[in-house]
C-alpha cells in the first residue's frame, strides 16, 4: 500500500513539472515564429517563388506563383495548373503541383514530399 501511495505521489510531481516544460517550449516556439514573421522572407509575399530541391540525388527546380487573386498557387506561371495553398504556423504548404507537396518556411528553406520521401529545398 505504501509503495502504491509513494508511486502516486511521485506521478503527481512529474505531472506538475511537465506543464512548466511545455509552457517554456511553447514560449520559445512562439518567439521563433514572431521573429520569422518580422525579420525573414515569407513565401509568396513578394510574388513568385523559385525552388531548388535535391531529390534522389538529383537537383530539381520548380516555379510557384500566386494566382486567382492569391487564392491559389500556379505551376510555372499564371497559366499553369493550379494547386492549393494552406497556411500553418510554421509553413506555407502547397499541394497539387508537380506531383509533390511543398513545405515552405520563412527564410528560404523547407521540404518537398513525394512518394513517401521528404527532401530539403531552398526557395527564393
Residue that wins the pLDDT comparison between 69 and 110: 110
Q: Locate cell 509552457: which residue?
A: 23
Q: What is the mean pLDDT of residues 41-54?
A: 93
What's the whole-model pTM score? 0.76
Task: Encode pLDDT of 50-99 as tens digits.
Answer: 999 999 889 999 999 999 888 899 998 888 899 999 999 999 999 999 99
Q: What confidence category does residue 22 fall into, taking pLDDT thresholds of 50, 70 and 90?
A: low
pLDDT of residue 36: 72
pLDDT over threshold 70, residue 5: no
| Domains of the chain, residue spans | 1-39, 49-123
Q: Whole-angstrom Cα distance, residue 47 to residue 67?
A: 9
For 120, the grid coordinates are 530539403
Which of 14-23, 32-41, 50-59, 74-83 is least confident?
14-23
Q: Whole-angstrom Cα distance, residue 86 to residue 44?
A: 12
Residue 106 sits at the vertex; the CA angle it makes with 101 and 112, to the nearest 5 degrees, is 20
Q: Whole-angstrom Cα distance, residue 4 to residue 25?
A: 32
Amino acid at each position: 500500500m505504501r509503495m502504491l501511495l509513494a508511486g502516486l505521489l511521485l506521478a503527481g510531481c512529474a505531472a506538475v513539472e511537465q506543464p512548466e516544460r511545455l509552457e517554456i517550449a511553447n514560449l520559445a516556439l512562439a518567439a521563433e515564429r514572431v521573429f520569422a514573421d518580422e525579420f525573414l522572407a515569407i513565401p509568396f509575399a513578394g510574388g513568385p517563388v523559385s525552388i531548388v530541391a535535391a531529390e534522389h540525388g538529383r537537383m530539381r527546380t520548380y516555379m510557384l506563383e500566386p494566382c486567382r487573386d492569391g487564392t491559389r498557387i500556379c505551376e510555372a506561371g499564371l497559366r499553369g495548373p493550379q494547386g492549393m495553398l494552406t497556411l500553418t504556423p510554421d509553413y506555407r504548404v502547397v499541394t497539387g503541383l508537380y506531383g509533390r507537396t511543398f513545405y515552405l518556411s520563412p527564410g528560404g528553406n523547407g521540404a518537398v514530399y513525394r512518394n513517401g520521401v521528404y527532401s530539403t529545398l531552398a526557395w527564393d
